[in-house]
Structure formats: structure tokens, C-alpha cells
Structure 1
Amino acid sequence: MRLEDRTCPLSTTVRQVGEWWTLLILHDAFDGYTRFDQFQESLGISSSMLTTRLKTLVADGLLERRPYQQGPTRYEYVLTDLGRSLRPVLVALAAWGNSRLPAEDRTMVLVDATTGAEVEPVVVDAASGRRLDDSEKYVFAAGPAATGGMLARYGPDRPGGRPDSGEDAVKSGYPQGS
């Protein structure tokens, strides 16, 4: 892993949830599955792989392991607030997958729970309500903690770049230098 990947939010997120089984387990958790045997039956995953993935999801703070039965003790895996915050990401991934298919070939669609009408999820800016899928209007820029590779890639000389030195950087709270 490159040094700049260790601080890149995309790289760190993919490292945490980018594995095939992880996304499917989270999808099942959003559908209300909490128990080992439910996940295993739904996914057809081996016990050892499921155990590994669940331990990682718990260690990463996405699921919480709670006892639900004594003698023998059995555990359930419940989404945490952090885990629940990933739902829009999974919804967007599913919508992207569906967008490439004819309507009759879609095996799962997102619908309004009240009306049953199919909805089209989009990612928008919370402040303006504008869609973020236009790569000319919205670009990544170096953040306050950016150093080295991130500044080289997204620094002040790039579209949408922010200052990395001088008075403007001090005013904006951005780091000076690389």
C-alpha cells in the first residue's frame, strides 16, 4: 500500500468494506439478519469465512456482537451507527448495478416503503441538493490533513485545488507545505 493510500478516505474505506463477503453480510444485516446461521444460510458462505468476516466487521465497529441466548451462549450481530451509515453506499452500488440492466432483468429494486413506487437513488450535496455525479462540477481537493501524495494529486495547482502555503492556507486551516 502506498503511503498516501493509508490516509485516503477511498482507500481506507475499500480496505474496510471492499471485500465481496463483507458487502453481502452488510446487505443482509440491513435486511434484518442478525444471527450467524441466518447469514450462512442466506449467503451460502463457509463457517470459517463467515467467522472471519464477522470478526472483522465487529473489530471495525460496523457490527456489535451481543449475546441473545445463555447455555450455550449464542450471539447476534447488530449494526452499529457506523455500520448503518453505510446503507446509502450499498443503495448507491445496487442502483448503479441496476442502471446497467433492462428493467425486466432487475432482481432487486429500491421502493418507497409507503407507496411501493420504485425510486431512483442519487447522491446529492446536502447544502444545495445538487447531484454530485457531474465530475466537471465536483472534484476532489486536498483536505486539511493532506500531505505528500495527496497534495501532489489534489493540491492548489489542480482543478478545485486549495492553497497549501501562505496566508490563504492559514485562513482556511489547510496545512502549509507538504
Structure 2
Amino acid sequence: MELDRPLRLEVIVGSVRVKRFAPVVVDWFLERARARDAFDTAVLDLADISLPQDLSHTAEVEAFTERIGNADAFVVVTSEYNHGYPAALKTALDTVKYEWRAKPIGFVAYGGMSGGLRAVEQLRQVVAELHMVSIREAVSFHQARKHFDPDDGPANDAAQRMLTQLAWWADALRTQREHTPYPG
């Protein structure tokens, strides 16, 4: 795939908890994403953004919405809490409406026995409602705090497959959005 300009990839950090494990997983993923020339990769850490739970409009919401609008693709790095995804992530998804549309999203999850996959399956339902394209390939770390291995072959392979699919979809959807506005 040869692109005229890199695809803007926003890596969204879903956990905002104190002493969260997210930075370890995010750093691991960023190393892989930034090795790809197809992407101009940035991190959007929800712990650093104050999005109001009542979904009211603020200057920070406006800046967040603009950043989402400027992105071509997303990867959410999420933990799994009580068989679901973090509340801050739900607030972020609900805060923006049209800017998510016709854009691909991939998932890197970590957690206990399921490796965060239950959170990912719930997120797939939400992003479908937002008119996003969910990348089938996901990355999962089972019991990440105990067993995180940055050189893990299966996770590396899954990340490479997801990034390849994400670049394909991001290029296709960006091209289409530039040619014809999304009819949603």
C-alpha cells in the first residue's frame, strides 16, 4: 500500500485508573504501530482529558471532537472491568457523534481470564452503532499483569495483522470520504 500522506492513527487509552497497567500495553503497541510508515500515530489518553459525563459541550469536548474528526483510524487499548470496558471509554464514544463515522477501529485488550475480549465484544456493538468499521483481528493479553511478555509471538502476529487490516480500511475509507461524504 502506497499512500500520498500517512494515515492519522489515534491510539485511545481507555483506562483512567490510578496504577493502571495501560501504559505498559500502550508502549508495546506504539512500538509496533510507529514502525509502520502508513501511520502518523498519536496517543489520546483519556486520563488526560476531562470529558463531562453529562455530555455537555465544553472547550475540551470541542478539542476532543476536532481531534477525532482529524483521525483516519483508531486503536483502543482497553482493560476489562467486571466483564466490560471502562466508563471513561463509553463517555468518550458518546461525546462525539459524526466524527467517528466511516472510520476503522481496532482493539488491543488486556485483563484477567478473558484477556479483555469480553470488553472488546461489547465495544464492537457500540462502534457499529457509531457507523465505524471494527477490525476483526484483535490483540489480547490474558492475565496481563502476571504474564505480559513484550516479545510474545502470538500477540506480535495479531498486532501486525490488525495493523495491516487497519491501514487497508483506513486508506479505503479516507479515499471514499474524500470522494463522497458518508451518507449517515
Q: Which has the higher contact order (CA 8 A, sep 6+)?
A: 2
Greater gyration radius: 1
Normalization by structure 2: what TM-score?
0.27
More strand by share: 2
With normalisation by structure 1, the TM-score equals: 0.27
